[in-house]
Amino acid sequence: MGNVTRVTIWNEYRHEKVHDRVREVYPDGLHAAIAAGLTDGFEVRIATLDEPEHGLTEEVLNGTDVLIWWGHMAHGEVSDEIVNRVYQRVLHGMGLVVLHSGHFSKIFKKLMGTSCDLKWREAREKERLWVVAPGHPIAEGIGEFIELAEEEMYGEHFDIPQPDELVFVSWFEGGEVFRSGCCYTRGQGKIFYFRPGHETHPTYYNEQIRRVIANAAKWAAPSTRPYPKYGHVPVPLETIKPKD
């Protein structure tokens, strides 16, 4: 991977076109605010749903170390072919950082093997993300918690496999909790789900949130290693004794 991590930010980029409130908060798109946080040691590219192949051509993906995914109202419009392409790249080592409503994206559900369902409420309530894995590289530079004055609520039960590592747990003003920062490995690829970022709140301008996403992108960058060999290996490494 070298010293520079090549990140592609995939944004559905629909809310910003049709909802005034979202355009007001993110005039250049959610992706622009996310990209602005990736300043040090990243090479950033943008891809969006309405581009040909959703902007995720073979060439783009092969040149991507870590894919960041934000989607919501148009999960169903993402073609299965592109989902499979991203899936294969993850198994071959590409990192994937799934943000907020991306919990219901085809690619996240396919990689998790569960419904990825949850509770939700839009009530401009306070969220406090507590660090529960203080030595984890994704929590580097983060205080005891991150406080967001207003966010959409996501509540348990969150139908995901038990995370390999749980980094954040959210407290919500309305009475719920949520596993907000979850690490997984699938094949050679590392996956981080990070909860915050509803499209009507300025969450992606928050410096601590940006730091988490940058940390996650570094953490998820692939190791340099050939893809494992699978299939038939007729010749054993050791002599097998003839049986009767």
Query: What DSSP state is assigned to residue 106?
Result: H
How far apart (Å, rounded) are the C-alpha atoms in residues 148 and 191? Answer: 24
For residues 46 and 139, which CB has a smaller minimum distance to its own copies in the complex? Answer: 139
As given in the structure block, the two tokens for residue 124 are 């401009």
The least CB distance from residue 164 to its own copies, in Å, is 6
For residues 179 and 210, which CB has a smaller minimum distance to its own copies in the complex? Answer: 179
Q: Which of 212, 219, 228 is nearest to 95 (CA)?
A: 219
Cα radius of gyration rounded to whole Å, the chain: 19
The least CB distance from residue 157 to its own copies, in Å, is 4
Q: Which of 196, 139, 200 is nearest to 171 (CA)?
A: 196
CB 196 within 8 A of CB 21: no
For residues 51 and 208, which CB has a smaller minimum distance to its own copies in the complex? Answer: 208
As given in the structure block, the two tokens for residue 197 are 């970022």
The least CB distance from residue 46 to its own copies, in Å, is 26
The least CB distance from residue 102 to its own copies, in Å, is 15
What is the number of alpha carbons within 13 Å of residue 24 lying toward its C-beta?
5
β partners of residue 171: 128, 177
For residues 31 and 198, which CB has a smaller minimum distance to its own copies in the complex? Answer: 198
For residues 76 and 175, which CB has a smaller minimum distance to its own copies in the complex? Answer: 175
The least CB distance from residue 135 to its own copies, in Å, is 4
